[in-house]
Amino acid sequence: MSDIPGSNEPHDPLDSFDEIIEAETERDPDLAVIEAGSRTLRTQGGPPQADVPARPEDPEVDKALREVEAELATRWGETKLEPSVTRIAALMDVLGDPQRSYPSIHITGTNGKTSTARMIEALLGAFELRTGRYTSPHVQSVTERISLDGAPISAERFIETYQDIKPYVEMVDSSQDYRLSFFEVLTGMAYAAFADAPVDVAVVEVGMGGSWDATNVIDGDVAVVTPIDLDHTDRLGDTPAAIAGEKSGIIKQDATVILAQQPVDAAQVLLKKAVDVDATVAREGLEFGVVARQVAVGGQLLTLRGLGGEYTEVYLPLHGAHQAHNAAVALAAVEAFFGVGAQRAEPLDIDTVRKAFAAVSSPGRLEVVRRSPTVVLDAAHNPAGARVTAEALGEAFQFSRLIGVVGASGDKNVRGLLEAFEPVFAEVVVTQNSSHRAMDADELAAIAVEVFGEERVQVEPRLPDALEAAITLAEEEGEFAGGGVLVTGSVITVGEARLLLGKG
């Protein structure tokens, strides 16, 4: 694995990181940092991973992609929305309803959506179906959000898709009270790209909620609800039941609903909606679930009970009990899509299932990006996500001293997130990412001091400095003592750290 560039080099490229971001005054900060990182840092860990694409090597393609990114950045961001599907429905109408040309699996919930989507995609692909996957947010490149056949679409295809639908987007913009948002345009692009491919099945993750989410112009044959907890309470409600009410909007007439384990009040709301629309329900812990799991090198070995029977010796190269539960949900969703438990009694081919799960990846989810000391990235950004990450760390890694690097968004329950990590962090380095949504490092530090105590908190506003400080603290244990670093708090923080550490 690659090391963070040392400070003893003649010229440290990290010195110009902030200057480049400040120079990008006309662009969204989330996009500017991606460019800044790719322009200033050397990739030291070999070729980029396929599921997190680097900037295009062709200068003309790179320029064209930047122009598309800049145009998208002029639209409402993902935290500013007018809750309705009116605009996206209008766009789909003028495009000829591309989302109706293939069956779909629709995924909502609070945590675990992207990992579950990736597992579903891997399973469907292993059974020789052509897949389209739409997930958000991205870790490093906006092109990650739209995948075909298990890989992000190329920059060229992303640009072509945008140019193809742009006249129709402008037509809808001119007829609505508000222009289509960033997320709505990307959703339109995904649905159009899937139809153009064409795909056999689309795997679609909601952006927020369900009922009024831009993705909810599809009628998913299978609706998946991952665990619900408190997040986006200003938009979705302040109880699990209220949030479940919004998320239940993806459950459509005669669909099959795959429910992960839920709080009781949330489960009641979801089950009532299923009854109202004559949907069939499969519940984790009853109709399917995790039978057994044991830690294995690089992941875990599972026995899963699906809708068609047991699947033994399934290797999953992801850490944590939560990923095992995501695997059970994904398996049940694919079984339901193929009619297992309804039209057919026999289970899916076990060897194909094993092959699919063994190939799953989920960047930024307990992802190891450096060794000696070990640096792990995890995109936990709410208390529920932080709790399962903290639990998984103790199981998968034998850290004698763990240093946290936390950069969070200002609209999140930051105190709850820090409290979840307090038992596992020896010390925490608070920082901030480049997003306009980032909580100020000093403000975050004030909360961290209340949770950890002043002696356990260090403030480094620049993420490169925070990484250096955390690695130095972890190394105090000695080379073979088992010190480690966890970078967390936001997908943006994880994405920027990934670039700084030479990944992608």
Read off the pLDDT of residues 140-188 as tens digits, 9 standing for 90 and up: 889 999 999 999 999 999 999 999 999 999 999 999 999 999 999 999 9
Task: Give me the pLDDT at residue 238, please.
Answer: 65
Give 135's pLDDT tier (boundaries 50, 70, 90): very high
Distance of CA 226 to the CA centre of its chain: 13
Distance CA 4, CA 307 (A): 46
Task: Give me the pLDDT at residue 13, please.
Answer: 38
**What is the torsional sign of CA 114, 117, 119, 125?**
negative
**What token pair was written down for 412?**
């999140």
Residue 229 near residue 108 (C-beta atoms within 8 A): no
Distance CA 221, CA 107 (A): 11
Distance CA 52, CA 70 (A): 20
Distance CA 180, CA 186 (A): 10
- In this prediction, what percent of the chain has a pLDDT beyond 70? 87
Task: Give me the pLDDT at residue 139, please.
Answer: 86
Read off the pLDDT of residues 453-478 as tens digits, 9 standing for 90 and up: 999 999 999 999 999 999 999 998 66
Of 215, 235, 50, 281, whose CA–CA distance to 147 is shortest?
A: 50
Distance CA 337, CA 127 (A): 12
Judged against a pLDDT cut of 90, whether residue 77 lies above it is answered with: no
Of 114, 131, 140, 123, whose CA–CA distance to 54 is shortest?
A: 140
Q: What is the mean pLDDT of residues 200-224?
A: 94
Distance CA 51, CA 54 (A): 10
Task: Give me the pLDDT at residue 480, please.
Answer: 52
Q: What is the mean pLDDT of residues 200-228?
A: 94
What does 387-451 look like in DSSP terms, one character per residue? HHHHHHHHHH---SEEEEEE--BTTS-HHHHHHHHTTT-SEEEE---SSTTBPPHHHHHHHHHHH
The number of C-alpha atoms within 13 Å of 393 and in the hemisphere containing its C-beta is 32
- Mean pLDDT estimate for the chain: 87
Of 362, 363, 268, whose CA–CA distance to 316 is shortest?
A: 362
Judged against a pLDDT cut of 70, whether residue 7 lies above it is answered with: no
Task: Give me the pLDDT at residue 344, please.
Answer: 79
Distance CA 115, CA 361 (A): 8
Lowest mean pLDDT among 13-27, 269-283, 358-372, 407-421: 13-27
What does 337-360 look like in DSSP terms, one character per residue? HTTBTTTB-SPPPHHHHHHHHHT-
Give 484's pLDDT tier (boundaries 50, 70, 90): very high
Distance CA 435, CA 365 (A): 20
Task: Give me the pLDDT at residue 234, please.
Answer: 55
Task: Give me the pLDDT at residue 16, please.
Answer: 41
Q: Which residues contact 66 (CB under 8 A, 6 or more apart)?
A: 35
Task: Give me the pLDDT at residue 37, please.
Answer: 35
Count other C-beta atoms under 10 Å from residue 277's C-beta. 14
Task: Report which of residues 236 and 447 the model is more confident about.
Answer: 447
Q: What is the DSSP letter of 248?
A: G
Q: What is the mean pLDDT of residues 51-72?
A: 91
Q: What is the mean pLDDT of residues 342-359?
A: 92
95-100 contacts, C-beta under 8 A, 24 or more apart? 95/165, 95/168, 95/188, 95/191, 95/192, 98/191, 98/192, 98/194, 98/195, 98/196, 99/191, 99/194, 99/195, 99/202, 99/217, 99/218
Task: Give me the pLDDT at residue 372, please.
Answer: 84
Task: Give me the pLDDT at residue 9, please.
Answer: 40
Task: Give me the pLDDT at residue 178, please.
Answer: 92
Judged against a pLDDT cut of 80, whether residue 31 lies above it is answered with: no
Q: What is the mean pLDDT of residues 211-240?
A: 83
SS3 annotation, 446-497? HHHHHHHCHHHEEECCCHHHHHHHHHHHHHCCCCCCCEEEEEECCHHHHHHH
Judged against a pLDDT cut of 90, whether residue 115 lies above it is answered with: yes
Task: Give me the pLDDT at residue 231, please.
Answer: 60
Task: Give me the pLDDT at residue 271, please.
Answer: 96
Strand arrangement of the beta sheet that strand 222-225 belongs to:
151-152, 146-148, 131-134, 201-205, 104-108, 222-225, 256-259, 280-283
Q: Which residues contact 160 (CB under 8 A, 6 or more apart)?
A: none
Lowest mean pLDDT among 92-106, 248-262, 371-385: 371-385
